Structure 1
């Protein structure tokens, strides 16, 4: 069964299940496809077989990424097109602090931006703690390692993925991952050395960060750019992807072709996440103003 929610004149960019509450999710959206206009953050709950809003927050610029805090079930962080990092308390409907997002590692947030920079933030300090340079293109994605303290990966329009230790300003490893822009990356939840990348070249590749001369696997099938990939929290060989080809696909990383192709959107699919509490359940959002929660048959 698929549950759906209409975001009404707001185009979905990122969606994430709460790590604390199995029925709760956050979705950030933008007006006019993110080109102009306002942004809206939806906090949603699944109740009695439907998706219901808990909070709806407006911002004067588009919202492009969202994540839940790792140390507080009520705090959500959203990244805005005006360069702001917005912290929301679901119990208290106001903006607490403000520049761009993704979080893990206690109270620390790591962000990547169109200015090619990566910055480290603490929710207790309005100024960035560190700035990381080296990318020669837009930084599309940054994500903490779920297993290595202080380590994060970044994906960029320069075709590289870089691995960083937050204590140093230079990358520990530079992976020439694709010959075109890299839009997304995610760590394997079961093996700290395995990282996956998705690109404008329509491919998904797996990398062993101990030896990056050659990818360890490659998956193809998307007809347009791979916008986001997420690895399963329940199976080390499973990941999901979404694309500008309007599809969501599930993969066994040991096979080159998708296990399942899900075609329930009519526009670019930008956001994707696994539910940490319910095996096989995923959520996705797209420019067609729809959020879908569902269980693919292949999962």
Structure 2
């Protein structure tokens, strides 16, 4: 396990470069992001450990970041003052572009993985915005009417966009539809809805709504999305049949789940980071073989495979390495630690 300290700044998000397996970026904030400035760290993985290649200081906290999919040296960061900033690590000018349309904190940014010419942002102001790095103003605004903590493009379609919000709903937008009164909204899934009752089984209890903080698209199964938040439970859904309720219900975290990420290597593995100071690896149950496979999914199958306990404060960010042998990931927390570790090493713990 490799470790780096973001001295004086609590980590909020970590992302591997999509171009280099030895480069990480970390969005961080002073005073845990409650007040004060932020810092964007560019880190290199070397034979001598993790080293700081460059950093940019900002006037407000940074909550999220996303690497450009078209330029190896560029990335965007989401700031607490409602701005989105574009950085180029090869240029000292800071930043090279900034957008300021959101009325409150920007909590998530995500680059379009397919067309690669747009990115999205979501904010506490109750809307999602679509941007081009070449335009000074947003291209589209998608209202959610609720504090929106996470937004992400589909990994297979340039026009599908999802988000989760404080009202405990997962929303799906299709930018190919007319911008009618629905504002491209094609699906809204209540995350707290229980699975449908099975024949011969008691009805599941009613679950009160709670804030959804994070979600992610499965990289191999186009219609599967996982979401989690304040109620400590990770749920997976099939967007083709949302009325069926969650496919998998993964419980085990003791406090809110702050970040989840599906593996880029295996279709049934995902990682989570939680305010309980742990990062956990899960199997969603979809790979179960034999006659028990239907029951495993129908009754919320899936299980925890292991957990990493090296953070000493809230664990709030996690990301998988896209390159090399499967299993390497990075995590950040409010303990000012950036940890790079092998998921396989914690299996069974």
TM-score, normalization by structure 1? 0.97
CA–CA separation in structure 2 for the residues paired with 1:268 and 1:242 = 8
Confirm or deny that 1:174 pairs with 2:184.
no
* Equivalent residue, structure 2, for 1:212: 242
The one-character-per-residue Cα deviations of 1:69-102 (angstroms, maximum 9, x if unpaired) are 0111110110000011110011112201114422
Which 10-residue stretch deviates more, 95-104 or 70-79? 95-104
* Equivalent residue, structure 2, for 1:123: 133
The one-character-per-residue Cα deviations of 1:110-158 (angstroms, maximum 9, x if unpaired) are 110010111011111111111101x232100001100122111101001
The one-character-per-residue Cα deviations of 1:19-71 (angstroms, maximum 9, x if unpaired) are 10000010000000101010000000001140011111000000000110011
CA–CA separation in structure 2 for the residues paired with 1:166 and 1:12 = 33
* Equivalent residue, structure 1, for 2:229: 199
- Residues 175 and 184, structure 2, Cα contact 8 Å, conserved in 1: no
Deviation of 1:166 after TM superposition, in Å, equals: 2.5
Runs (4+) of structure 1 moved beyond 4 Å?
Answer: none
Out of 253, 256, 261, the position equivalent to 2:284 is 253
CA–CA separation in structure 2 for the residues paired with 1:7 and 1:13 = 11
* Equivalent residue, structure 2, for 1:160: 169
TM-score, normalization by structure 2? 0.83
CA–CA separation in structure 2 for the residues paired with 1:137 and 1:260 = 34
**Larger gyration radius, structure 1 or structure 2:** 2
Map of 1:252-291 to 2, 5 A cutoff? 252-254=283-285, 255-278=301-324, 279-291=326-338
Which 10-residue stretch deviates more, 104-113 or 279-288? 104-113
* Equivalent residue, structure 1, for 2:95: 95
CA–CA separation in structure 2 for the residues paired with 1:172 and 1:14 = 29
- Residues 246 and 263, structure 1, Cα contact 8 Å, conserved in 2: yes
Deviation of 1:165 after TM superposition, in Å, equals: 1.4
CA–CA separation in structure 1 for the residues paired with 2:48 and 2:164 = 37
* Equivalent residue, structure 1, for 2:252: 221
* Equivalent residue, structure 1, for 2:270: 239
SS at match of 2:64: strand
SS at match of 2:32: helix
Deviation of 1:170 after TM superposition, in Å, equals: 3.1
- Residues 127 and 146, structure 2, Cα contact 8 Å, conserved in 1: no
Map of 1:56-75 to 2, 5 A cutoff? 56-75=55-74
* Equivalent residue, structure 1, for 2:79: 80
CA–CA separation in structure 1 for the residues paired with 2:145 and 2:331 = 30
SS at match of 1:91: coil
* Equivalent residue, structure 1, for 2:122: 112
Confirm or deny that 1:132 pairs with 2:119.
no
In structure 1, runs of 5+ residues without a counterpart are none
Deviation of 1:261 after TM superposition, in Å, equals: 1.3
Number of residues of Structure 1 aligned to a counterpart in Structure 2: 297
CA–CA separation in structure 1 for the residues paired with 2:48 and 2:146 = 43
- Residues 127 and 145, structure 2, Cα contact 8 Å, conserved in 1: no
CA–CA separation in structure 2 for the residues paired with 1:102 and 1:126 = 18
CA–CA separation in structure 1 for the residues paired with 2:119 and 2:336 = 28
- Residues 28 and 66, structure 1, Cα contact 8 Å, conserved in 2: yes
- Residues 186 and 197, structure 1, Cα contact 8 Å, conserved in 2: yes
CA–CA separation in structure 2 for the residues paired with 1:276 and 1:164 = 27
CA–CA separation in structure 1 for the residues paired with 2:211 and 2:142 = 19
CA–CA separation in structure 2 for the residues paired with 1:259 and 1:233 = 17
